[in-house]
Chains A and B, each alone.
Chain A
Amino acid sequence: MVKKYTFPMGGIHPDKHKITASCPIIKAELPPFVTIPVKQHIGAPAKILVTKGDKVKAGTLLADADGIVSADVHSSVSGEVTKIEDTPGAGGYTEKMITVKVEGDDWESSIDRTPDIVKEIKLTAEEIIAKIREGGIVGMGGAGYPTPIKTTLPEGKKAEMLIINGIECEPFLTADDRLMIEKAEQIIMGAKVLNRALGIQNAVIAIDENKPDAIERITNLSKLYVGVNVKVCKTKYPQGGERQLINAITGRELPSGKLPIDIGCVVQNVGTVFAVYETVLKNKPLFERVVTVSGPGCAHPGNYLARIGTPISSLIKQSGGQPDDIEKIVLGGPMMGNTVTNTETPVTKLTSGILLLNGAEFAKHEPTACIRCGKCALVCPAGLRPFAIRQAVSFNDPADTLRRLHVGDCIECGCCAYTCPAHIPLLDYCKIAKQEIRKK
């Protein structure tokens, strides 16, 4: 019996809905134009380098990272820059975006487009980090934290373990799953690249047990490589959360306010590791990613390799179109994703899924009285008491009270609101509480 890892505190088991797990990744059709936001990451928006009328190729640098906490943005298609203006983004706010009219599919000549897998790493750690920065890579699991910062060790810190996050615990999403099945060797090479950058010998690829194909593929291949191991985790949400995954694999908890590197861990999503492989060993900057298009309202769900900036309407059309009875379109998973109403919103580096949702299972229910069951505290992976946070927010308690409830440790996974039998939007109260603390 192989040991299966998991985190002990809280967690839930929502229905998996992994209907696209056996759909191979297909190349999405090129849209007539792409709209590329200059901020697809945490930090400062990138500085725009192009002007209207410029001809660009796929892989051409459009905007340059502005400072350390920022990331380069590349063109994902070849064609002409037609617009650089404020455009409504996924959140409804306007963001600076660069529109490129697609003409053909010309890539920068420096990109290695051969299917060969590069198995030799000649670069030093510094060179690798520089290439990761030039490739515009950010954490593709959803956080969007610029990857070069995570791979540069802070003064006096030493990395002991690289954990590659292949958990993908959100319902519906299968982008990482398919990537591990189809690009297993590239991911293993990406892990070795990161090992070199971090100066460590050992990378652990954590995969949860509901992905048997990915586990088999990566396990078999990893036997051929030194320094990459697979660890199988029990399926539980939110195991893909950084703090939960570190806890599952190492048995250690990250104290409040500490970063993974403080206990010698670096966690990278498999999508990010694949992008690291491509940019470091194939010279291909991050301008496309795998997106799962799924949901009960989706006629032909699938996994698409889409160029950054592709309007989501284009992917929805390729998967059978948008029926009239769709109530919500969610970017990301149903637990932590956000609704969008504008289907011209582009796919970004962080778009893991597009879900067309309808029906009672995905509707908001009218809240009823709290029956004090305490299930919210039982399922909270941060050990918080959402019922107490709700009470404090409702009574307008001062920020100090909220701080004592450790509101800042909330990872916004939504387990509390999912579980509440009275359908009380507990996560909303936690978010309000966080804002209250920030105000003071």
Chain B
Amino acid sequence: MNETLDKTNLTLGDRLRGFVDAFGLPRLIIAAFLLMLYIAAPFVGAGFWMQISNTINRFSWNAIMVLAMVPMIHSGCGLNFGLPLGIISGLLGATLSIELGFTGPMSFLMAILIATPFSVVLGMGYGWLLNKIKGGEMMIATYVGFSSVSFMCMMWLLLPYHSPTMVWGYAGKGLRTTISLEGFYDKVLAGFLQINIGTLSIPTGTLLFFALLAFGMWAFLHTKTGTAMTAVGSNPTFAKAAGVNVDKMRMLSVVLSTWLAAIGILVYEQGFGFIQLYMAPFYMALPAVSAILIGGASVNKASIANVIIGTFLFQGIVTMTPTVMNNMIHMDMSEVIRVVASQGMILYALTRKTEATK
């Protein structure tokens, strides 16, 4: 509508309204809130550079899992609430790599290699399922994630793992809930070309790794297959008429998303320093979903820029609120703020009228 009007005739208020509409009010509030946090941080005694490097660190851990959202949004499968499925492939890769006796950087490489076939197979099954239930993807994805996590809870206990670094000492079987990665791939990417200036530290390796994958994703979306995938998402009937195999494209996007989730959790682990099993992957989809939405994506539109902005904003809030809030009002309300902001963002995206019909 606005485009048809002459721009010069618009008042400032109209322009502002248009800007708010385009950007989304919740997103604006969240960005403003984060800005406020950064301004407040030095005054309340929380080191500014410390906060920045915390945020960058957490950004580097989480960005790939947020990137995993992109392919499925492009192919019209909606937000991938089934991220835990991919995370499980990653965890299988991680634990098997250690079980097979790999150490150091090699264990990271092997974890990726082992996780890949798992994620491809699981992703194909998951994609097949989502093709059968077009239109109801998000709810089923959520529950596929939950079921797979609770199923694996049993498996972590039952599978014949033996590596003494991973199993419970007294029973000699059953994996521990958290496994330290020291001696394996702890900080293997983060330590690569790490930059330290005073309190500021930048995990260059992890950022480069993310940049590589993000660039790969960007390049893929511009190939013939990539554009076909986007076409499937934006107009399936048209794509079908143009001779694109809709189901195959959707399947590809799901496999890609699952694989990225597997890589994502491995990168997260190398930064965090521990493998977390059992119920840990349960709610991991929600932060990733809200991060990409905060970055400006919607249920059927997402770009690499959305991933970067969103992860930065989201992780900024996660790292900044506890310290700043604690110093300002002596109440640690960060948990509440995080939940309300991230879930509110998802709700906002789900209720957009233009995106609600497909």
Is chain B found bound to chain A in the same assembly?
no
